[in-house]
Structure 1
Amino acid sequence: MFETLKPEIELILNKPEATIDDRLQKICELLKERLEYYDWVGFYFRNGTKEELKLGPYAGEPTDHSIIPFGKGICGQVAVSNENFVVPDVKAQDNYIACSLTVRSEIVVPLFVKGENIGQIDIDSNTPDPFSSADERFLEFVNAKVAEILE
């Protein structure tokens, strides 16, 4: 499943006539549409020099969490740790920010440009514990390709 999506990701990103936000929006929509347990897909980026993340393009239900302080919630923790964070059950997490009552699990993978963590891709799922190491590797691939257009 992931292997068939990789060329589509590259095709979307290799369209310089489209804005970066438009390309990232298409990535979010593709992943949400094609991966049945990806119920919300979005990018967060460091907000200038502030110690916070700002919501970028996303696909799914609207969220009130357009700004997330570093260290708060799963996304905020990844901004500090620089490591992938897979949450099989969000109810078991103390430092979790609920975007929706239907969300059961989450995966966040940091996005690096020239070695610096500039943001992340965030996936919420209404399915308990659906994410595997294959999801992590795939999202790392997506972020590596996104980084190429942001350099």
Structure 2
Amino acid sequence: MKIEELLISAKALLETQPNQIALLSNASAFIFDSFENLNWAGFYLLNKDILTVGPFQGHVACSTIPLGNGVCGQAAQFRKTIVVDDVLSYDNHIACDSNSRSEVVIPIIINDKVFGVLDVDSPIYNRFDKTIVEFLESFVKLLTKLIDF
């Protein structure tokens, strides 16, 4: 399926969901089911200075991540997408799943406040090319319009 078609499908699935937990649960399942070679897709939600695991698909995850720690904490702190082609060579990586080899994290900013991050991990190196990253950023833009924050 093409990226444009994925966004249309995502919008149709998510725009009618009034419950935030259900919205994020289906959003993580949508990502997990739409791309091959993933071992985790989900959300960490910011509570004060701690990211706490939210709805996700995949293996057991870290429960909490301090702001600034790991790829998720840095993406939230700096409010920018971070793509790591080789997590084993990334100094600040937190190994929640020892099978992860690449990762992309997109911050979720609503009304100029950090709501959390979308985190997607893969067991293969260099998994996240420009097209996938652009899709995930567009997906997060869609979510920001639907999340009640």
Same fold by TM-score greater than 0.5: yes
Provide the C-alpha distance between the structure 1 equivalents of 2:30 and 2:107, rounded to a whole number of angstroms. Answer: 19
Instruction: Give the paired residue count.
Output: 147
Within 5 A, what are the aligned runs for 1:1-150?
1-16=2-17, 18-47=18-47, 50-63=48-61, 65-150=62-147
TM-score (norm 1): 0.91
Structure 1 runs of 4+ off > 6 angstroms? none
How far the C-alpha of 1:129 sits from its partner, in A, is 0.5
Give CA deviations for 1:89-128 in whole Å, capped at 9, x if unaligned: 0010111100112110000011111222221100000011
Give the Å deviation of 1:37.
Answer: 2.4
Task: Identify unmatched segments of 5+ residues in structure 1.
Answer: none
Percentage of identical aligned residues = 31
- Corresponding residue SS for 1:98: coil
* Compared CA separation, residues 39 and 4, structure 1 to 2 (3 A): farther
In 2, the alpha carbon distance for the partners of 1:67 and 1:100 equals: 14
Deviation at 1:58, TM superposition (A): 0.3
Amino acid at match of 2:12: L
CA distance in 2, matches of 1:150, 1:28: 14
5+ residue gaps, structure 2:
none
TM-score normalised to the size of structure 2?
0.92
Q: Output the CA distance in 1 between the equivalents of 2:6 and 2:38.
A: 14
Query: Residue 91 of structure 2 aligns to a residue in which SS?
Result: coil
